[in-house]
Structure 1
Amino acid sequence: MNPFDLPPVAAALDGLYHLVMALITTLEPWAGASAAALAIVTLTAAVRLVLLPVAISQVRAEIQRRRIAPRVEALRTRHRSDREALTRALGRLYTSERVSPVAGIGPTLLQVPVLAGVYALFSHATIAGHANALLAHTVFGAALGANLVAGLPHVAAFVVILLLLAGVVELTRRANLRFAPQPATPVPGAAALARVLPFVTVVFAALAPFAAALYLVTSAAWTLGERAILRRRLA
């Protein structure tokens, strides 16, 4: 059973559909054929603005973890041969300093429903029982509902978006490395995994509808700029 056919989900998706259509109608007089793509960018920016308080909490958590990083590294050195003792010691440290090792994933998790909604909007022929007019919109000849393979022969727009996303992902990865101190005794394989894992987003974007890829690159670029500003102001 398609989860998007469930009445509550279908109603939420229909609401998102009408919101995007209203944005397109508003932007079309001066954006023309690019109105649909610009509507996705506008939607992404609106979501990120709503999530700004969560992003501030995320950066503050980063700063707290950066502050106690030398103590974390000392504990790792002291208990390098006893993983259970290390886990207990780290737990006591995080508790005493009121620092959560997983704090900061809020913006990512809270965007998942919106990204899933955008994905569904541009991958279903019908929404809540009516025809999906969004599938008729294109950007430089590429349908917003097509992915990299289905978009042939109009792949130029896809390639541009994927290259932009890869560039933003790499810049974000480097910025995070500069901001967060690296452990003197790294976990084997962790550095290679940390280098490759962010680019899973690019693979997903290549397989997802173009509109979802557009959402991802806009959100990633927003995150890069947002983090740079907040880190300077809060650190």
Structure 2
Amino acid sequence: MSAFLDVFATLVQRLAELLQPLLASAATAAAIVLFTALVRLAVHPLSRAAARGQQARTRIAPQLAALRKRYAKNPERLKKAIMDLHAKEKVSPFAGILPSLFQAPAFLLMYHLFTGDRMAGHTLLAAPLGDSWTDALADGGPFGPAGRVHLAVLALTAAVAVVNYRRTKRQLAEQPLDLGQPTPGAGAVTKVMPLLSFATLVTVAVVPLAAALYVLTSTAWTVAERAFLFRAESGSGSRSAPAEGGPATRA
């Protein structure tokens, strides 16, 4: 992992040098934001595959519910019927899961890069990129020079979390969580899931500022990307769907 971190650190440093004439001391912070965006752009095809997988599972959800009701007392028949439906509709039950897993290594490397000593000596305004909010509180308090920078990042993170909370809550209302079978506590899970959007606030509050910028940028990208992908996929689906009562359009 050290070799990858060295490569990433070099790339961030090069970006910071390019931005230095325009942003002066904030160049490294801007390089972190830009580099995070570039990494997210590189894995965008995986995110698009994940969105398509979720759309596909949503599309066949009513049929799955009907099968579960029909074969509720025959688990083996239900299992076969679900497999046949997936094969007929060309939908993988794992669609959208594996692509997301491939993003984890890149994000793990990014996180380690921005929480290491490589950020020592770099600042965003008056806040060292290697210091956390706790450090800022001990050095000037919440409204000190460094504290204000951390508060601004926390405020932006909170705004993104609110948008994500509302989107998740709306999506679960329109498309209830399907756990595969009736599960005790499913309603509680549905209520808790939107609240997980605010977990990023805890992360941003405890990690160094460099990592907080990464979390903020990546989370904002995720919210914007999912809004775009699901709007695009829904629009594509509505255009390709046949009119009610009419024949399906063939390519």
For residues 31-180 of structure 1, what are the structure 2 equivalents within 5 Å? 31-79=23-71, 89-105=81-97, 108-125=100-117, 132=118, 134-152=119-137, 153=141, 154=147, 155-174=150-169, 176-177=171-172
CA distance in 1, matches of 2:177, 2:4: 44
Q: Which residue of 1 aligns with 2:219?
A: 220
Compare 161-170 and 9-18 and name the one that shifted more.
161-170
CA-to-partner distance for each residue in 1:152-175, whole Å, 9 max, x for gaps? 232423422432342243144245
CA distance in 1, matches of 2:29, 2:135: 18
User: Could you state the TM-score of these two structures normalised by the residue count of structure 1?
Assistant: 0.77
CA-to-partner distance for each residue in 1:23-69, whole Å, 9 max, x for gaps? 11111111222212211111121112212222221221122112101
Q: Which residue of 1 aligns with 2:4?
A: 12
- Structure 2, unmatched stretches of 5+, are 142-146, 235-251
CA distance in 2, matches of 1:105, 1:183: 15
Q: C-alpha displacement at 1:108, in angstroms?
A: 4.1
CA distance in 1, matches of 2:198, 2:99: 18
Q: Relative to structure 1, is the Cα distance of residues 161 and 114 closer, same or farther in structure 2, using a 3 angstrom cutoff?
A: farther
Contact 2:154 2:201 (8 Å CA) reproduced: no
CA distance in 2, matches of 1:203, 1:83: 42
Q: Which amino acid aligns with 1:230?
A: L
Q: Which amino acid aligns with 2:35?
A: L
Q: Which amino acid aligns with 2:82?
A: L
Q: Which amino acid aligns with 2:155?
A: V
SS of the counterpart of 1:145? coil
Larger radius of gyration: 2
> Which 4+ residue blocks in structure 1 deviate beyond 6 angstroms?
81-85
CA distance in 1, matches of 2:68, 2:205: 39
Q: C-alpha displacement at 1:71, in angstroms?
A: 1.0
CA-to-partner distance for each residue in 1:69-125, whole Å, 9 max, x for gaps? 111222343455777765554344334423233322456433333332233223333
Q: Relative to structure 1, is the Cα distance of residues 41 and 33 closer, same or farther in structure 2, using a 3 angstrom cutoff?
A: same
SS of the counterpart of 2:21? helix
CA distance in 2, matches of 1:201, 1:103: 26
Contact 1:115 1:215 (8 Å CA) reproduced: no
Q: Which residue of 2 aligns with 1:3?
A: none
Q: Which residue of 2 aligns with 1:202?
A: 201
SS of the counterpart of 1:150? helix
Compare 208-217 and 158-167 and name the one that shifted more.
158-167
- Structure 1, unmatched stretches of 5+, are 1-8, 126-131
CA distance in 2, matches of 1:209, 1:89: 51
Aligned positions, number = 219
SS of the counterpart of 1:189? helix
Q: Which amino acid aligns with 1:210?
A: L
The structure 2 residue matched to 1:182, chosen from 176, 183, 188, is 176
SS of the counterpart of 1:218? helix
Give the alignment's Cα RMSD to 1 decimal. Answer: 2.9
CA distance in 2, matches of 1:107, 1:148: 33
Q: Which amino acid aligns with 1:225?
A: A
